[in-house]
Chain A
């Protein structure tokens, strides 16, 4: 199975929390090259984390 093709919400959360290794981050980046839906989802999660009063 090709990891780059896998949509994984947990991996997006892990990126937002800064918990991905370099290798995992390149896999995510490669996945985002092919998957705009995950790219948009990542942005939503970062924007949600970005809320401030």
Chain B
């Protein structure tokens, strides 16, 4: 069974204690669960080795954590997770546009990573969006798979993930093609509901 937190156990605790306000702490914890694997995958996609990608992930999240008290003081009306998302995107872009050698030494300071992006980085920004979306759906899939009948999940998996036809899926599962449609639609709806909840991290 996949867990979003297991690859980074040491980071998680140290990050959470940085957030003093309990009302932001839960949002931050959920945020880290989503962004930790996202940052790691972006680092790997940008050519970093495993250890360097872990270091970069930790640097970005620690930098963002250090920025949280600033949020707590100055922006009470805005949404915490929107602000976190923007700060994190900046930090990821700053981090991945640095040289690999520099990253490996751990020399990037939190201040460097939190700096405003001097020039737009549409390629990295799109990658962040894509990876966040992937992660939200991956987390939602874990939840929804446990909530529906195994055949219902399998109907979704066979036709959407593995791309086989409804008729083939129906034959494989001993179901009618009509029920393949309804099973798949039910799973898609449940996924959407969970993703919406995950997106609203501050609730």
Q: How far is the CB of B155 from chain A (nearest CB, A)?
A: 12
Contact of B189 among A16, A28, A30 (CB under 8 A): A16
Residue contact A32 to B181, C-beta cutoff 8 Å: yes
Q: How large is the interface on A (under 10, 10 to 19, 20 to 34, 35 or more residues)?
A: 20 to 34
Cβ–Cβ < 8 Å partners of B188 in chain A: 46-47, 50
The reply to whether the CB of B22 lies closer than 8 angstroms to some CB of chain A is: no
Secondary structure type dominating chain A contacts? helix
Interface string of B174-202 (1 = CB under 8 A from A): 00111101101100110110011001000
Contacts of B181 in A (CB 8 A): 29, 32, 39, 42-43
Binding site for A on B (CB under 8 A): 166, 176-179, 181-182, 184-185, 188-189, 191-192, 195-196, 199
State the Cβ distance, B144 to closest chain A Cβ, in Å.
Answer: 13
Q: Which residues of chain B come closer than 8 Å to A39, judged between CB atoms?
A: 166, 177-178, 181
Chain A residues engaging chain B, CB cutoff 8 angstroms: 15-16, 18, 25, 28-34, 39, 42-43, 46-47, 49-50, 52-53
State in angstroms the CA–CA spacing of A47 and B187 once bound together.
Answer: 11
- CB–CB A43/B184 < 8 A: yes
Q: Give A32's nearest chain B residue, CB to CB.
A: B178
Q: Which residues of B contact A42 (CB under 8 A)?
A: 181-182, 185
